[in-house]
Amino acid sequence: MLFFLLQCGNMVSAQSDWRLIAEDEGISVFSKSVSTSKVKAVKVECTLEASASQLVTLLMDLPVAIQWVSHTKSCTLVKRISPSELYYYSEVALPWPLENRDFVAHVRVTQDAITKVVTMNAPAVPGWVNENKGVVRIRKSLGYWTITPLAGNKVQVQYTLQVDPGGIIPAWMVNMLAAQGPMESFKNMRQQIRLPRYHNVSLPFITN
- C-alpha 166 chain-centroid distance: 18
Supply the CATH number for residue 49's domain: 3.30.530.20
Note whether residue 201 is domain-resident: no
User: Each residue of 12-50: pLDDT tens digit?
Assistant: 344 458 888 888 889 998 888 777 666 777 889 999 999
Is residue 14 a part of any domain in this protein?
yes
More confident position, 62 or 8:
62
Closest by CA position to 100, among listed 90, 109, 87, 108: 90
| 175-to-30, 41, 71, 87, 154 alpha-carbon distances in Å | 11, 9, 15, 27, 31
Q: Which domain holds residue 62?
A: 2-195
Domains held by the chain: number:
1
Q: How many other CB atoms are found less than 10 A from the CB of residue 189? A: 23
pLDDT digits (tens, 9 = 90+) for 51-65: 999 999 999 999 999
Task: Find, among 162, 137, 151, 146, the residue nearest to 59 by Cα.
Answer: 146
